């Protein structure tokens, strides 16, 4: 039999695993040993990983670790079972643990952690448990002739892999995997063009396993990977629209009461750690709701709940309009004043470079991200929270398509809108926006007239556009984007926003938490909560006056301040980015100069167009720097950083 090796590092929350696996019984060779050592070095285990264990058998060598913030407190995120011809590892955190123990008939006296419960259930029932579990978890099961990776449905987990000839490598973070590479890296132009065209297009096309590197893939949430003598097999086991709660609520009050119950369980399941728990707080519905619940439900031994909020270093330049608020501190102050038991921390990132933070982010994640412009304040909060000794950091980023879902305005009848919102708004929502405004904007994007969001399309080299047939892909993407605004069901809108293929924020949360050494978790990823909300009729998301987000407004009445309950504008954490970038313009100009000597960048980007846009951004008065232009230029800058590594990899050594 052909010898095949597997190098992997799988992560759930903050547990890390890497090593190699072979279908034939062999102790490994010098190449495998060198790769294992390189992955250890790239993982930076010495920084904040304390509990670690090396496991070895006839056909595998593994290292599993978790950070000291949780270890010192007595929390465990992994459990191991070794037999003569089998080794099974379970990672992460589970929801509804008491119910699971009773349902699976497990002996609670033998189970000290969620990972113990996960391991015991898997050993007893095998892969069938994947349809039942909710949480942030991953299972790795190695037999003499196979290796299986099970990924949670929507949690904060990541697992990358690459096959090189007779070898297959795995890694929880791309930099760890890339350290073991034995041949030059190559860009995946299709995925890179998707990055430039729109928001995680690969996920919407059910291609969430693709990365921006050729031949390097990941196991998305809700999928499993199996390797045996017949090859590699990916299988998606979780389809949310097939698992909608079977009994829709009969009334809006019933829906609010059930969401209250489920959200309470979701937050409580994340407060069972002995480690200190903290929460991010932005001043919007989602993070404010999580913070209010966590403050009320936290362990009494923890007297206060630390909160971390970004505020602009230059509030006088923060964007402010009827639709956007760049300085959310007044809203945050209102939440703090109304919620007892909080220990607020404000971070303005005044000393942190936006440009350097983008560079650090792509190095942590191994590839650029769409929201790279937010890197500076995210990294600042993560570092501050870790320094303060918080082992768990709560987030509310998935709340927008769940509890605070705004409903589908376009699905409502003409008469409903007319009675509640008046004639002009009815015409806007039923005719102008879906049938005139959005098609016109998409046409302007294609013609290059309207730069917002699809602005980067103008940066791609025409030859690459033709090679990848990007015009056809653009039409397909326009159709997918249109699902969000066309008169379809609210269920389809929620599914498209939250579940389409995979949600990239969960993956990024897992990798950031692994790097900084804490557990990052979002109560809105609670599976029963998502399934229930998919069953809620569209009309229940509107109040009697026709205002959207009715469920969250009713749920948090008297618990959130009026400034948030009645808010119409969306918060922008990077609202002063136009001013912040002034300090980074010299570094950005230097990067553009270097890019002109990069064959890979030249193959991908029209640098003349990008340079012109950069100069337009740099030379504009601070108050006139448009946010979309800041996003477009900085995203292209992050891509340049990423592409230039391929030139370095191609150089002879």
User: Model-level pTM?
Assistant: 0.89
Look at the block and give the residue holding tokens 């019933």.
254
In whole angstroms, what is the distance from residue 70 CA to residue 393 CA?
A: 12
- Indicate the burial class of 329 (C-beta count within 10 angstroms; 0-12, 13-18, 19 or more): middle
pLDDT tens per residue across span 310-325: 999 999 988 777 677 8
* CATH of the domain spanning 242-349+363-406+503-573: 3.40.50.620
Whole-angstrom distance between the N-terminal and C-terminal Cα of the chain?
35
DSSP secondary structure of 92-123: EEESSHHHHHHHHT--GGG--SHHHHHHHHHH
Q: What percent of the chain has pLDDT over 70?
A: 81
What one-character-per-residue DSSP string does 370-439 give?
A: TTGGGHHHHHHHHHHHHHTTEEEEE--TT-TTTTT----GGGS-HHHHHHHH-HHHHHIIIIIIIIIIHH
- Which is more confidently placed, 53 or 472? 53
Q: What is the mean pLDDT of residues 266-289?
A: 92
Q: Is the pLDDT of residue 483 over 50?
A: no
Does residue 206 carry a pLDDT above 50? no
Q: Which CATH superfamily is domain 5-238 in?
A: Aminohydrolase, N-terminal nucleophile (Ntn) domain (3.60.20.10)
Which residues are paired to 148 by β-bridges? 141, 226
- Confidence at residue 600, expressed as pLDDT on a 0 to 100 scale: 94
Segments making up each domain of the chain, as ranges: 5-238, 242-349+363-406+503-573, 409-488, 578-650
The lowest-confidence range among 152-166, 285-299, 565-579 is: 152-166
Lowest-confidence range among 156-165, 187-196, 388-397, 609-618?
Answer: 156-165
Which percentage of the chain shows pLDDT scores above 90? 37
Per-residue buried b or exposed e for 169-182, using 16+ beta carbons within 10 Å of the residue's own CB:
bbbbbbbbbbbbbe
Q: What is the pLDDT of residue 474?
A: 61
pLDDT band at 504 (very low <50, low <70, confident <90, very high): low
Question: Which of 87, 83, 47 is closest to 65 using CA atoms?
Answer: 47
pLDDT in tens, 551-603: 999 999 999 999 999 888 778 778 899 999 999 999 999 999 999 999 999 99
Question: What does pLDDT average to over the chain?
Answer: 82
- Position 439 scores a pLDDT of 57
With beta carbons less than 8 A apart as the criterion, state whether 125 and 53 touch: no
């Amino acid at each position: 039999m052909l010898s095949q090796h597997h190098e992997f590092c799988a992560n759930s929350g903050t547990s890390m695993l890497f090593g190699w696996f072979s279908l034939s019984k062999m102790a490994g060779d010098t190449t495998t040993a060198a790769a294992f050592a390189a992955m250890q070095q790239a993982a930076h285990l010495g920084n904040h990983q304390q509990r670690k264990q090396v496991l070895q058998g006839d056909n595998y060598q593994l290292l599993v670790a978790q950070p000291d913030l949780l270890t010192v407190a007595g929390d465990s995120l992994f459990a191991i079972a070794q037999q003569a011809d089998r080794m099974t590892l379970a990672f992460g955190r589970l929801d509804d643990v008491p119910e699971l123990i009773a349902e699976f008939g497990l002996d609670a006296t033998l189970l000290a952690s969620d990972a113990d419960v996960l391991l015991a259930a898997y050993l007893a029932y095998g892969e069938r448990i994947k349809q039942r579990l909710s949480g942030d978890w991953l299972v790795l099961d190695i037999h003499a002739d196979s290796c299986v990776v099970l990924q949670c449905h929507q949690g904060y987990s990541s697992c990358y892999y690459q096959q090189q000839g007779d070898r297959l490598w795995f890694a929880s973070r791309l930099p760890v995997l890339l350290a073991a590479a034995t041949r030059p890296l190559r860009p995946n132009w299709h995925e890179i063009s998707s990055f430039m065209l729109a928001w995680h297009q690969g996920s919407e096309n059910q291609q969430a396993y693709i990365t921006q590197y050729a031949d390097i893939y990941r196991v998305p949430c809700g999928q499993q990977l199996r390797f045996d003598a017949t090859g590699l097999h990916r299988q998606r086991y979780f389809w949310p629209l097939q698992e909608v709660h079977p009994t829709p609520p009969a009334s809006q009050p019933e829906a609010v009461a059930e969401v209250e119950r489920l959200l309470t369980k979701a937050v409580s399941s994340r407060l069972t750690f002995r480690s200190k728990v903290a929460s991010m707080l932005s001043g919007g519905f989602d993070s404010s709701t999580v913070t209010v619940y966590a403050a009320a439900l936290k362990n009494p031994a923890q007297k206060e709940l630390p909160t971390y909020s970004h505020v602009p270093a230059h509030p006088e330049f923060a964007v402010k309009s009827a639709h956007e608020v760049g300085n959310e501190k007044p809203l945050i102050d209102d939440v703090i004043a109304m919620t007892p038991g909080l220990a607020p921390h404000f971070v303005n990132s005044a000393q942190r470079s936006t440009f350097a933070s983008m560079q650090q982010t792509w190095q942590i994640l191994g590839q650029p991200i769409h929201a790279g412009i937010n890197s500076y304040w995210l990294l600042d909060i993560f570092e501050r929270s870790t320094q303060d000794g918080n082992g768990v950091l709560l987030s509310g980023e998935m709340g927008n398509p769940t509890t605070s879902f705004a409903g589908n305005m376009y699905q409502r009848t003409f008469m409903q809108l007319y009675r509640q919102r008046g004639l002009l708004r009815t015409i806007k929502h039923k005719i102008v926006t879906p049938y005139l405004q959005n098609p016109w904007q998409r046409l302007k994007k294609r013609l290059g007239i309207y730069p917002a969001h699809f602005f980067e399309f103008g940066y791609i080299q025409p030859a690459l556009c033709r090679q990848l047939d990007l015009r056809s892909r653009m039409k397909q993407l326009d159709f997918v984007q249109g699902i969000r605004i066309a008169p379809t069901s609210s269920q389809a809108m929620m599914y498209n926003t939250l579940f389409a293929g995979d949600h990239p924020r969960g993956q990024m949360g897992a990798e950031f938490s692994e790097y900084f050494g804490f557990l990052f978790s979002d109560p809105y990823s609670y599976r029963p909560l998502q399934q229930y909300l998919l069953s809620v009729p569209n009309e229940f998301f509107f109040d009697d006056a026709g205002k959207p987000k009715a469920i969250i407004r009713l749920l948090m009445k008297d618990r959130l301040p009026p400034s948030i309950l009645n808010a119409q504008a969306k918060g922008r954490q990077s609202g002063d980015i136009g001013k912040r970038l002034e300090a980074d313009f010299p570094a950005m100009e230097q990067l553009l100069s270097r890019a002109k000597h990069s064959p890979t960048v030249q193959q991908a980007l029209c640098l003349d167009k990008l340079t012109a846009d950069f100069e337009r951004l740099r030379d504009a008065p601070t108050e006139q720097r448009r946010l979309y232009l800041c996003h477009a230029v900085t995203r292209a800058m992050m891509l340049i950083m990423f592409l230039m590594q391929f030139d370095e990899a191609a150089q002879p050594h």
